[in-house]
Structure 1
Amino acid sequence: MIVRPHLHWFRMLLAWRGSVLPQLLPRLFIVLALSIVAVAAHDHILKLTVNLSTVPFSLIGIALAVFLGFRNSASYDRYWEGRKLWGQMLNETRSLVRQALTLPRGGDAATRESAHELMSLLAALPHALRHQLRSTDPRADLESHLPPALFERVMAARYRPAMLMLCASEWVQRETREGRLDGYAVLAFEHNLNGLSDVIGGCERIVSTPLPFAYTVMIHRTVYFFCAMLPFGLVDSIGGLTPIFAVFVAYAFMAHEAIASQLEDPFGTEDNDLALNLMSTGIEVALHDLMGEPTSLPARAPEQFIID
């Protein structure tokens, strides 16, 4: 994802990286070429003249705008849910580390050492989940957070975030068996661990259930057919200005369709997907901060744009 501070209105007009315009340029050039052909045919430069009424384009354009609105709403709902789930992960992991520091009985040194063990598991969790959602190799990230034996155990699992949750539950069980946690403390830990399980399951649901393909391809075909025929519907009324208006309308429709396509999978690596690298690091920094351990990891995005 591209993360940048709020731009001045004029700079926003010229923004390039992070917009979908670069990937749309070849398609817009095709619309421009069709517009030039339509103008040439209308002026009888070519032997074939194709003039269409604007009425069907008005009706189709209104219907297409409604369909694109539903498409964008459905895609943004997935993006927004993913954003909320990762925010919930930050809250749940913070609560677990706080409880690990304050609820167990025993000396401060033993409590902090035991809490650090749980904190390492929780700090590795967002990295493991990010790699699972993106189908990438988590080895480098997990190896730096986990002891060797635990690292090998987690890497041997297919669903590594779930294995880390199991290890966290085993930590609670061990603390209970050794008498450092009472029943009320166990319930508090289990409540937050269940919340983390809901986060993992929610993210997996978004990845494994995309929007219906037939619905997506129908809108995609309609947008491109509409944009290809639009110059021949405009040329009779606006003449030589057809290329300008046809390209502008095509950009509006194609851009909405392209943005919706990116937001449909919010955990990907495209410009407008969630900044999971930055969010994973932010959770890790928050947990180290609760432990009173300084870290050189960035807690927020730099002022210039980044790809994450």
Structure 2
Amino acid sequence: MIVRPRQHWLQLLLVWHGSVLRHILFRLGLNGALAIFAVCLMPWLKGHGLELSTAPFSLIGIALAIFLGFRNSVSYDRFWEARKLWGGLLVASRCLLRQAQTLTGRAPTDPAVREFCHLLVALASVLRHQLRHSLASPAAQADLQRLLPADLAAAVARAQYPCVRLLRELAAWVRRQHTEGRLSEVAVQSMDRNLDELTLYHGSCERIAATPIPYAYSVLLHRTVTVYCTLLPFSLVSAAGVLTPVVSVFIAYAFMALDAIACELEEPFGTEPNDLPLNAMCLTIERSLLELCDADSLPLPASPDRFHVLD
């Protein structure tokens, strides 16, 4: 996620990192080359009466802008819903750990409370790796070994649905406290509701990750943008003349950038600069829960890199 400070309007014109320009620069170059070709071909086109009017392109451009705006709204809704789900994951984790301390009467530094804390942190970490398809990576294995006992870490690593396995371990912890007489029936029900919330957030993230915007819809818009921007210079050449390359590239940038932004926001759990900073959010959850356990030291907070990207 880009976390730049507020910038002057002139600086925004020159921003490279975090913009989608790097994704569409080649296509813009092709559009500019076509526009130069159209300018060179203008006398021949006029001589053969092959001039395109800007009127149909204006109508198509308005309709295309509306469709692209709709698709961007849908993509941003997915992004914002994903952000709210991870915010809910943080809140539910805090509530569960607080209840694990206050309702059981255990001290924040009690080993059983620390065990519950590590299960919650592991759940967030595993969910992050699952959404980013990196469960088999060394980083994911290191997180499991750091947070969980060796036998449980191995079981979670082998599981087809590791988050579900961790949720079962959390529920088993609650059951053990009830068996030991530390949790009443009412307290168990209260904690179970928060466990249900965790399950809902986890399942909703899976739904977003597994259900992209319909492919045919994306292909239609991408093809329309490409054809429109390809023919655009030939409609502008009679009105803009030698300025056709400048005008054509500017218009093409607006349409291609909207298409690229929608593609990037469609998958909010990825690793692009404008995707959600899942690593930073997992670190926030871990720091928050460890502080509730009165840990002696906390991991350093996440900070943006030199390009203002928070991973």
TM-score (norm 1): 0.94
1:265-276 mapped onto 2 (5 Å cutoff): 265-276=267-278
Number of aligned residue pairs: give it.
306
SS in 1 for 2:300: coil
Relative distance call for 1:165 and 1:212 in structure 2 (3 A) is same
- Please give the alpha-carbon distance, in whole angstroms, between the structure 2 residues aligned to 1:301 and 1:7: 19
Identity of aligned residues (%): 49
Structure 1's consecutive aligned runs of 4 or more residues displaced over 4 angstroms after TM superposition are 44-50
**RMSD in angstroms over aligned alpha carbons?**
1.9
Other-structure match for 2:5 = 5
- Please give the alpha-carbon distance, in whole angstroms, between the structure 1 residues aligned to 2:290 and 2:48: 72
The offset of 1:170, in angstroms, is 0.3
- Please give the alpha-carbon distance, in whole angstroms, between the structure 1 residues aligned to 2:82 and 2:267: 9
The answer as to whether partners of 1:3 and 1:307 remain within 8 angstroms in 2 is: yes
Other-structure match for 1:228 = 230
CA deviations 1:250-292 (Å, max 9, x no partner) are: 0000000000001111001112111111111111111011111
The offset of 1:302, in angstroms, is 4.1
1:71-220 mapped onto 2 (5 Å cutoff): 71-105=71-105, 108=107, 112-136=110-134, 137=136, 138-220=140-222
CA deviations 1:88-120 (Å, max 9, x no partner) are: 000000001111111114x648x7221111000
- Please give the alpha-carbon distance, in whole angstroms, between the structure 2 residues aligned to 1:150 and 1:60: 58
Q: Which amino acid aligns with 1:9?
A: W
The answer as to whether partners of 1:118 and 1:168 remain within 8 angstroms in 2 is: yes
TM-score (norm 2): 0.94
Q: Which amino acid aligns with 2:184?
A: D
Other-structure match for 1:65 = 65
Structure 1: any 5+ residue segments left out of the alignment?
none
The offset of 1:43, in angstroms, is 3.7
The answer as to whether partners of 1:235 and 1:242 remain within 8 angstroms in 2 is: yes
- Please give the alpha-carbon distance, in whole angstroms, between the structure 2 residues aligned to 1:28 and 1:174: 62
The offset of 1:51, in angstroms, is 2.2
The offset of 1:148, in angstroms, is 0.8
SS in 2 for 1:306: coil
The offset of 1:22, in angstroms, is 1.0
Structure 2: any 5+ residue segments left out of the alignment?
none
CA deviations 1:1-51 (Å, max 9, x no partner) are: 333333332222111111110111110000000000111111449987742
Relative distance call for 1:302 and 1:268 in structure 2 (3 A) is closer
